[in-house]
Amino acid sequence: PRRRQLTTEDYFVGVRDCDITVLPRALTLIESNNPEHQRQAETLLTRLLPYTGNAIRVGISGAPGAGKSTFIEALGLQLTAQGRRVAVLAVDPSSGISGGSILGDKTRMSRLAAEPNAYIRPSPSAGTLGGVASKTRESLLVCEAAGYEIVLVETVGVGQSETMVAEMTDCFLALMLPGAGDDLQGIKRGLLELVDVIAVNKADSATLKAAELAAHQYEMAIHSILGKQDHPPQVLTCSALHDQRVDAVWQAVQQRYTAMKSGGDLAAKRSRQQVRWLWAIIEDRMKQALRKHPGVRRIREGLESEVLAGSLPPEAAASKILQTFGMQEPCGI
Ligand code: GDP
């Protein structure tokens, strides 16, 4: 049977009641690229906005295989056992490009998914990374309005998607593989500036020593790269598989959050994030508009081949494309 269409009021009431039949549909509405759905989603979000902002928002990144799902499941089960409500969202940087997925199927966290106090949502799949991230950010707000107290946003450890997740969260946790510390190239200044807590996972059995060594090396790298700082990232080891020190990692995250909140830094951080999102959304929509523009689509391949052949400088091709798009003046540099 076809499901009844929901009104904005239905969505609003359903989300506020955390009606588990309505919440996923509200998130589907948010993720939709249909212009009419987008308008309804904007109205819904505006209505929900006064009820948002009450969760701890935590970004979690790690290379494929670092143990993100295992860690999130262990942490989520601990938190739900304490009666806390946890939502897990994901930003998959591969989803927009290939239609494939690095983060994979969230049925991996099947035990957590079965908890009534947990909600797991896979990454939105269509669009640019910016679009995927911006929809995830809106989903985060919806989950807050539904009363989730902890929102975990998972992503893969590659530059741009980590930055976008850091832009929507209060604290950032990087899960590392033991052994990765051998290669200090692996720890970039950029990542160090994003993270609050580094947890070297798989600190058990055969990889225990390697994990401890890696943790030590990260400590040294932090010291030498960042120097003296008020809040240097904290480094811990854990074993998500055996649920060892997952609680300690969470405590470190929470400590960071509490310190930010009581110092007034949290409110300031969230306000700055809002303004950066404004511009990120504008840039993303402009890129999409450029890509979809019929005139641009007509001329782009021809101009690309001319640039490829070396018969037209990229600057001239760019001016032609932008003029076609409607930008009158060539950009002065
Ligand atoms: P993800 O790709 O980052 O989500 O990683 P997964 O959570 O799927 O874990 C990848 C593999 O590492 C799986 O086979 C896990 O069982 C294993 N794994 C995860 N955490 C640990 C751990 O703490 N210790 C050990 N020994 N293996 C782990």
Span from the CA of 314 to the centroid of ligand 1 (angstroms) = 46
Q: In what order do the strands lie in the sheet with 197-200?
A: 118-120, 86-91, 150-156, 56-62, 171-176, 197-200, 234-237
Q: Do the domain assignments include residue 213?
A: yes
Specify the pLDDT at position 93. Answer: 82
What domain count does the chain have?
2
- The answer, yes or no, to whether residue 95 has pLDDT greater than 70, is no
- Judge contact between 72 and 107, C-beta under 8 A: no
Looking at the fold, whether 87 and 213 belong to one and the same domain comes out as yes
pLDDT tens per residue across span 6-54: 999 999 999 999 999 999 999 999 999 899 999 999 999 999 999 999 9
Looking at the fold, whether 166 and 102 belong to one and the same domain comes out as yes
pLDDT tens per residue across span 165-224: 999 999 999 999 997 555 555 567 778 888 999 999 999 999 999 999 999 988 988 888
Instruction: Pick the residue whose CA is nearest to atom 19 on ligand 1.
Output: 67
d(CA 144, CA 56): 9
Label residue 147 left, alpha or beta by phi (over 0 means left) and psi (-120 to 50 means alpha).
left
Beta carbon of 225 within 6 Å of any ligand 1 atom: no
Looking at the fold, whether 39 and 134 belong to one and the same domain comes out as no
Q: What is the ipTM of this complex?
A: 0.99
**Residue 151 token pair:** 């929102």
Looking at the fold, whether 113 and 19 belong to one and the same domain comes out as no
Q: Do the domain assignments include residue 291?
A: no
- Range(s) of the domain holding residue 69: 52-263
Span from the CA of 240 to the centroid of ligand 1 (angstroms) = 7
Looking at the fold, whether 132 and 249 belong to one and the same domain comes out as yes
User: Which residues fall within 8 angstroms of residue 80, CB to CB, at 6 or more apart?
Assistant: 86, 112, 115, 117, 118
Beta carbon of 69 within 6 Å of any ligand 1 atom: yes
Instruction: Pick the residue whose CA is nearest to atom 6 on ligand 1.
Output: 67
Looking at the fold, whether 212 and 150 belong to one and the same domain comes out as yes
Looking at the fold, whether 150 and 186 belong to one and the same domain comes out as yes
CATH code, 15: 1.20.5.170
Specify the pLDDT at position 307. Answer: 97
Residue 97's alpha-carbon distances to 128, 131, 218, 289, 304, in angstroms, are 7, 12, 32, 17, 20
d(CA 25, CA 19): 10
Specify the pLDDT at position 94. Answer: 77
d(CA 227, CA 86): 35
